[in-house]
């Protein structure tokens, strides 16, 4: 087996041994890496970190509910061609100028190895991942209009994220290296906060993290705050010059942590009840 570049996090992205093992497996075996986990646990950031640490360009493909697999490969702009044909100011016989490569096509065609991020694959239609199987396996596809084949000379590093909203097809899952990002432990969380806010007051950091985990422990919350929300919250606290957060008092800028009206009501309820709201 040939030597491959190993990934071990960057200065701004902290990893765990299991995440590193998963990324390195994907790199060594040249398989797509499927990352799942709660929203806000840094799935998308992982791709950026991998691209940065291996020094490869990052190509993003943000999947939406209307995205089709074909869009990722190439788009044949028939309407533009039709339109041009009426004015005859361009050579419509040259189909090439109406073929636009999608993010996946771009990653395949790239001269150097690229990192392809397929973000939130579960947003698309249920059949979407199945339509990509062949292309991901063989790293090549055919442009029918040109009778040409695009073949990846350097197999791109494919990182796929999913919010675990939708079940992905088995055939697709079997081709991927899988990693589930755990919610960070308080210790790791403290490290993460330190990476994002290096000059933060130690005491405020501890208080904020403690308040954050208390908040997460509340059973009545519909949407529990996650890492990215804590980082944002601390940024807001610092910008506003808040020097202290108390658990029992109402928390400042709660809106950055709790995003649902019911959650804010639930939080107020617990506070007003005067009892400890940890239960």
Partner 1 sequence: MFLPFLYELRARGVPVGTTEAVQLAKALSAGLHEQSLDGFYHVARALLIHREGHLDDFDQAFLKVFKGVDVASKKIQDELLEWLKNAAPIADSLSEEERALLENLDPAELEKLFEERLREQKERHDGGNKWIGTAGTSPFGHSGKAARQGIRVGGPGGGRSAIKTADARLYQGYRQDLTLDVRQMQLALRKLRTYARAGGDVELDLEGTIASTAKNAGELEVVVRPPRRPNTRVILMMDVGGSMDPFALLCSRLFSAAKKSTHFKELRTYYFHNCVYGRVYETERFTDPVRIEDLLHECGPHYKLIVVGDALMAPYELMSPGGAITYEGEERMEGISWLMRLRNHFRKAAWLNPEPPRYWEGNTIETIRSVFDMFPLTLDGLGESMAHLLRTR
Q: Which of 79, 87, 198, 202 binds partner 1 (CB under 8 A)?
A: 79
Which residues face 117 on adjacent strands?
60, 159
Binding of residue 176 to partner 1 (CB under 8 A): yes
Nearest to partner 1 of 79, 239 (CB atom): 79
**Whole-number Å distance between alpha carbons of 145 and 239:** 55
206-235 positions binding partner 1, by CB under 8 A: none
Q: Which of 94, 165, 210, 269 binds partner 1 (CB under 8 A)?
A: 165
Please tell me whether residue 258 binds partner 1 under the rule CB under 8 A. Answer: no
Helix-strand-coil percent breakdown of the chain, rounded to 5?
Answer: 45, 15, 40
| Numbers of helices and strands, H then E, in the chain | 11, 9
CB of 198 to partner 1, least distance (A): 19
Q: In what order do the strands lie in the sheet with 33-37?
A: 58-62, 115-119, 157-162, 33-37, 177-181
Site for partner 1 contains 24 (CB under 8 A): yes
Q: Which two tokens stand for residue 147?
A: 């009778």
> Is residue 31 within the footprint of partner 1 (CB under 8 A)?
yes
Q: How many residues bind partner 1 (CB under 8 A)?
A: 38
Under the binding rule (CB under 8 A), the answer on residue 91 touching partner 1 is no
In the block, residue with structure tokens 């929300």: 229
Does 118 help bind partner 1 (rule: CB under 8 A)? no
Give Cα 142 distance to the centre of its chain: 28
193's tokens: 């906060």
Q: Which residues bind partner 1 (CB under 8 A)?
A: 1, 4, 17-18, 20-22, 24-26, 28-29, 31, 34, 36, 78-79, 82, 85-86, 126, 164-168, 170, 173-174, 176-180, 182, 185, 187-188
């Amino acid at each position: 087996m040939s030597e491959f570049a190993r990934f071990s996090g960057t200065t701004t992205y902290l990893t765990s041994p299991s995440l590193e093992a998963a990324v390195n497996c994907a790199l060594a075996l040249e398989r797509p890496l499927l990352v799942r986990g709660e929203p806000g646990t840094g799935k998308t950031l992982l791709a950026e970190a991998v691209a940065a640490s291996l020094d490869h360009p990052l190509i993003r493909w943000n999947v939406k509910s209307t995205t089709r697999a074909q869009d990722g490969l190439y788009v044949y702009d028939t309407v533009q061609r039709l339109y041009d044909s009426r004015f005859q100011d361009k050579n419509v016989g040259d189909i090439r100028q109406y073929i636009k490569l999608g993010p996946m096509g771009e990653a395949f065609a790239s001269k150097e190895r690229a990192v392809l991020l397929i973000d939130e694959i579960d947003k698309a239609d249920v059949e979407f991942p199945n339509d990509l199987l062949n292309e991901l396996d063989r790293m090549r596809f055919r442009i029918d209009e040109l009778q040409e084949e695009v073949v990846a000379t350097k197999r791109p590093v494919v990182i796929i994220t999913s919010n675990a909203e939708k079940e992905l097809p088995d055939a697709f899952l079997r081709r991927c290296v899988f990693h589930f990002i755990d919610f960070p432990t308080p210790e790791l969380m403290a490290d993460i906060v330190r990476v994002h806010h290096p000059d933060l007051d130690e005491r405020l950091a501890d208080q904020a993290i403690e308040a954050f985990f208390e908040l997460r422990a509340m059973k009545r919350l519909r949407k529990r705050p996650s890492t990215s929300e804590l980082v944002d919250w601390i940024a807001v606290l610092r910008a506003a010059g808040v020097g202290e957060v108390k658990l029992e008092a109402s928390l400042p800028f709660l809106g950055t942590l709790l995003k649902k009206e019911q959650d804010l009501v639930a939080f107020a309820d617990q506070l007003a009840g005067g009892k400890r709201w940890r239960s």
